A and B are shown apart, each in its own frame.
Chain A
Amino acid sequence: MLDAIGRDLRFAARGLWRSPGFTAITVATLALGIGANTAIFSVVNAVLLRPLAYRDPAQLVALRGVVEVRGLDDVRNSAPEYEDYRTEIPALADVAAAWPININLTERGDPERIQASVVSSNYFRVLGTAPALGRDFTPDDDQGRIGYVAIISWELFQRRFGGDRSVVGKTVRLDDDPMTIVGVMPRGFRHPLETSTSPMEVWAPVELANTDPQFIGDRRARVFEVIGRLKPGATVAEAQSQLDALSRQLGSRYPDVYPAALGWRAAVLPLSERVVGNVRPALLVLLGAVAFVLLIGCANVANLMLARATGRGREIAIRTALGGDRLRLMRQLLTESLLLAALGGALGLLLAVWGTSALGRLATLYLPRAQTIAIDGPVLAFTAVLILVTGVAFGLFPALQASRPDLQDVLKDSAKGSAGGARTRMRAVLVVAEVAVALVLLAGAGLLLRSFQRLVAVDPGFDPQRLLTMQVWLPVPNDNAKGRYATQQQRVGFYDRALAAVRQVSGVTGAALVSRLPYSGRTDSRFKIEGRPVADAQLLPSAELRLVSPDYFRTMAIPVLQGEAMPDGADSLSSTYAMVNRTLAEREWKGESPVGRRIQLQLFGGEGPWVTIVGVVNDVRQGAPDQPPLPEFYVSYRLFAGQQMSLVARTTGDPDALADRIVGAIRSVDPTQPVFGVTSMDRLLANAEAERRFSLLLLSLFAAIALLLSSLGIYGVMAYSTSQRRHEIGIRMALGAATPDVLRLVLRQGMRLVLIGLAIGLFGAWALSRVLAGQLYGISARDPITYAAVATLLGAVAFAATWLPARRATRVDPMISLRSE
């Protein structure tokens, strides 16, 4: 048997070697298809399929709050809620909490902002991962509040401490606190809910049972991500059922925190779903698209194989006439298909290695777990299966057809006109299928493209040109009273000096502060409107709150629509002003001017001061470019100067060129203060569209490949068919057919298949439209203009692919009709 397979392989290899053109085109087509599938599967495998890198990851769940009234389904949890989950949900074996924060590392080199997390001491045990060096946290480490010990990531250990193992037990300054490093996590350990661009690198323990409302004991202080581990045998549904009961009990126990009208409830879902749930639809669309590309490639190769089988009909007929059995012939032909698929797969794998690396870089901005994208065992197994399946898929029908030749016809060499009916029909079916599948892909890419065009055309509400943005995080020691920026006055002092220093930089025409840059998350805050009493404080209106310096609107070029901009220098506690955006003004004052009205901010600690609205500004897209503007109000940063602020600087030229000098100006105020996230506003906006850009780029690439392959397929089939019909065309010319008649004949034949394919493709695109609906903005998934445009494009390309063989057909010498075939 092995000998026979070896003989078949050698025979197939010799056959392919003798047909270098056929072999090259086939292998290149398969390499494109298999390579693209392998690359996308490597992403899907890393992001969706590979289990989370923790012990028994299927047992891990994420717990979060849902506030139905406000349409929020991913609300973090407070420390008391964490304690409730831990003690009152029997389905959970244990629960851990993490509060992501920024800290400043100010030793061993330049000050650096680090993504950190204060966690419950059982955090690593719940995840099931122990430190690689040193020890885990113990319950005593937090000392009732936040402990002075830290565990660092392997990557920080290497980058900042050069892999020096003696760092364990040493003390470093983190946010001005002396923290003793007690452990180093293993290489590759990641916080499950971090973003790829901002990996967690330091963990410190916190006491979550601390009931001090000024610390973390307030039920409304929902800052913790909570991760649970199910007991063996327990299910997510059981846990959810118990959480539902707990939610009802909490509503009874704390009606002021969980009023029924708010619709708060705790929800649980598998941790893996929490990590990747948002990107699943986009990745599955890409996987489907790339499978379509392979289908088109297989159709092309099947067509080539059919043509090749026809060309080898005589050889096969002779073998059959000499007694070769059909199974033996089929095995030989399939061996050739599989050899071609293997060659295509090997080349495709090389393409995929390059593609995977590029995809990893592209996806980092928005894909969770993007750093783990790689060609590994499961990806190689997938490629091997793909090679086998494609080899059989494109080789089986031609092998079946070729292995039962009409001996009399072939050996007499008297076949006339077109080739065998079954093969002709199969080729026609393959062309129709290629066109249909290509149209589905083109429609998808067209919809994403038009959606993206609309997205980038969205007015962000300000002028993003020549704006540099950056962030600072003032250190917060565990004992805040000891901090250099513990008081409002200290923080305002730093920000004022930093602003003044930046404004001195040559080329800077304006600089301002804002608590949160556009497209950088939400800060929802409730407020009271003077003269509108509300019985339940939880039901007060809420809006996005931005703390800004008075010249923020001028620096960002946000138009003031009513009233005036926030007065400069008049923003103190005794004289406080606010600006509202158009959406908030219309929502709360419905056609009346809010200028002169007063609102009162609601804070964790109680009620804030009353502030007077002095103006209405244009809407700024804060959430995301595809989300409608949120109601928003702006108050002076001098009221609540936080630890974290962003700075925007308007420049006369390229903002990136001034980055070092602007950062230097801030550092001149405090050399130990890291400045991070330095980027132009243009780039910030582009990053906000990264996910769509990623999908658009890949789907467009696949659609372009599909267009190329399908046009090559149509060309190949028409060229082959025309060559088979040369005698018939000669007869027609002898009977009086002129050049236009022959052109029409071939074009009609080709375009009939194309039109059938287009019709099926349009129906397919229409039927599959809902899978893209969630990724579109400002355009229907069944947009007729897009459908018409892509059908026209594909039709035009197909026409060109048919035109060339048709032109060639007109050059047939009619003398051929007088010759015997």
Chain B
Amino acid sequence: MALAIDPLIRLQGISKIFHTEDVETHALSRIDLAIRAGEYVAIAGPSGCGKTTLLSILGLLDSPSEGSYVLAGEPVATLSPGQRARVRSRAIGFIFQAFNLIGDLNVFQNVELPLKYRGLPTEQRRAAVHEALERVGLLHRIHHFPAQLSGGQQQRVAVARAVAGKPLVLLADEPTGNLDSRNGAQVMDLLGELHAGGATIVMVTHDPRYLAQVRRTVHLFDGRLAERGSLNLEVA
């Protein structure tokens, strides 16, 4: 049985190697990382250091070449694509740099999408969507299409989509990268509120303005971890 202080996410010896013809590229090398429930962690580092690769492994979009990944007490590194899709739909919420709303779906349908994949009944979905949109202040835009929204509004819809299913962890990939500073600040405030409400957030960013808002920053350099301000929880 997991103790209360057990980490929500535990990576041990994670490596990711890409093979292109005769060239072997080590995107991540022996990463050890533990993230507790309720933590707000930033992953920072220069371009090409492996931030996005690490996020994709955390989000089960990709699998590591080596190492183990335990999410909420379950090993998930070697799951099949179908199993990974199931875990994603239940445990992970994504916020993308480019918002990634689906243009043919309106706000309600966009937020509802992960809930449909999870197989929730219609009524539950509706209630969850309304709650999430209310939380991000966009309930009045529920029938609008993404093209009818500003960039900041689109990203707030993306946040609502990510939190609607109450995932175990929110993964945000440069969530302010496509926004001006005012909208960027609004989105960061929103993430702060979610964290204050108990959400576990892992955010990739290279903007130093926002690093100050997180409790812990994990620095990556050439695929290796160089952590600062870490509680660095030791796990028995």
Contact = CB atoms under 8 A, between A and B. Distances in A.
Interface of A: 416-418, 727-728, 731-739, 741, 814-815, 817-818, 820-821
Given A736-B90, A738-B86, A739-B81, A818 B56 contact: yes
Q: Of residues A734, A737, A739, A815, which shows the largest number of chain B Cβ atoms within 10 Å of its Cβ?
A: A734
Contacts of B98: 820-821
B97 A737 contact: no
B173 interface: yes
Contacts of B89: 735-738
A331 B98 CA distance: 38
Q: Which of A418, A735, A738, A817 has the most C-beta atoms of chain B within 10 angstroms of its own C-beta? A: A735
A817 B62 contact: no
B118 A820 contact: no
Nearest to B89: A736
Interface stretch (B99-107, B129-137, B185-193, B215-223): B99-107
Contacts of A417: 102-104
18 contacts: A731-B96, A732-B102, A732-B113, A733-B61, A733-B88, A734-B88, A734-B94, A735-B94, A736-B86, A736-B89, A736-B117, A738-B85, A738-B117, A739-B81, A817-B100, A818-B61, A818-B173, A820-B97
Contacts of B88: 733-736
A417 B89 CA distance: 21
A738 B82 contact: yes
B114 interface: yes
Interface string B34-62: 00000000000000000010011001011
B204 to A, nearest CB: 9
B150 to A, nearest CB: 15
B161 interface: yes
Given A815-B61, A817-B96, A737 B117 contact: yes
A419 B161 CA distance: 24
Nearest to B167: A736
Interface of B: 52, 55-56, 59, 61-62, 81-82, 85-86, 88-90, 94, 96-98, 100, 102-104, 113-114, 117-118, 161, 173
B33 to A, nearest CB: 18
B137 to A, nearest CB: 22
Contacts of B85: 733, 736-739, 741
B118 A818 contact: no
Contacts of A732: 102, 113, 117
Question: Which of A727, A728, A731, A741 gathers the greatest number of chain B CB atoms within 10 Å?
Answer: A731
A814 B85 CA distance: 10
Contact of B61 (A727, A728, A737, A817): A817
Contacts of B81: 738-739
A814 B56 CA distance: 9
B86 A735 contact: no
A815 B56 contact: yes
B52 A818 contact: yes
Looking at chain B's contact residues, is the secondary structure mostly helix, strand, loop, or mixed?
helix
A568 to B, nearest CB: 84
B55 A818 contact: yes
B48 to A, nearest CB: 14
Contacts of B118: 736
Q: Which 10 pairs of residues, A with B, have the shortest CB-CB distance?
A: A736-B89, A736-B117, A738-B85, A417-B103, A735-B114, A731-B100, A814-B61, A736-B88, A736-B114, A737-B117
A732 B109 CA distance: 12
Nearest to B161: A735
Contacts of B113: 732, 735
A254 to B, nearest CB: 83
Which of B52, B97, B103 counts the most A-chain CB atoms under 10 A from its CB? Answer: B103
Given A731-B100, A738-B82, A815-B56, 6 more contacts: A734-B100, A736-B114, A738-B81, A815-B61, A817-B61, A821-B98
Contacts of B82: 738-739
Nearest to A820: B98
Contacts of A739: 81-82, 85
Given A736-B114, A818-B173, A418 B94 contact: no
A122 B62 CA distance: 95
B6 to A, nearest CB: 24
A421 to B, nearest CB: 9
Nearest to B94: A734
A735 B117 contact: yes
Q: Which of B81, B102, B104, B114 has the most CB of A within 10 A?
A: B102
B119 to A, nearest CB: 10
A820 B178 CA distance: 10
Given A735-B89, A739-B81, A814-B61, A418 B117 contact: no
A781 B24 CA distance: 68
Contacts of B97: 820
Nearest to A732: B113
Task: Determine which residue in B56, B96, B100, B103 has the highest number of CB atoms from chain A within 10 A of its CB, and name it.
Answer: B100
A482 to B, nearest CB: 94
Nearest to A737: B117
A205 to B, nearest CB: 83
B102 A728 contact: yes
B53 to A, nearest CB: 9
Given A732-B113, A738-B85, A817-B94, A416 B61 contact: no
A585 to B, nearest CB: 73
B65 to A, nearest CB: 14
Given A735-B94, A736-B90, A815-B62, A416 B161 contact: no
B61 to A, nearest CB: 5
Contact of A741 (B62, B94, B117): B117
A725 to B, nearest CB: 9
Nearest to A736: B89
A578 B26 CA distance: 103
A504 B158 CA distance: 97
B57 to A, nearest CB: 10
Given A738-B85, A815-B62, A821-B98, A418 B55 contact: no
A814 B52 CA distance: 13
Contacts of A820: 97-98
A707 B96 CA distance: 43
B170 to A, nearest CB: 13
B73 to A, nearest CB: 20
Contacts of A727: 100
Nearest to A729: B102
A523 B212 CA distance: 109
Given A417-B104, A418-B103, A734 B90 contact: no
Contacts of B94: 734-735, 817
Contacts of B61: 733-734, 814-815, 817-818
A815 B61 CA distance: 6
Nearest to B59: A734
A643 B90 CA distance: 95
A820 B174 CA distance: 11
Nearest to A731: B100
A416 B104 CA distance: 10
A419 B56 CA distance: 27
A731 B173 CA distance: 13
Contacts of B90: 736
Nearest to B165: A736
A402 B82 CA distance: 40
Contacts of A738: 81-82, 85-86, 89, 117
A741 B81 CA distance: 13
Given A734-B88, A737-B117, A416 B62 contact: no
A738 B90 CA distance: 12
A357 to B, nearest CB: 52
B153 to A, nearest CB: 16
B117 A731 contact: no
Contacts of B96: 731, 817-818
A733 B92 CA distance: 12
Contact of A416 (B59, B86, B103, B173): B103
Contacts of A815: 56, 61-62
B9 to A, nearest CB: 17
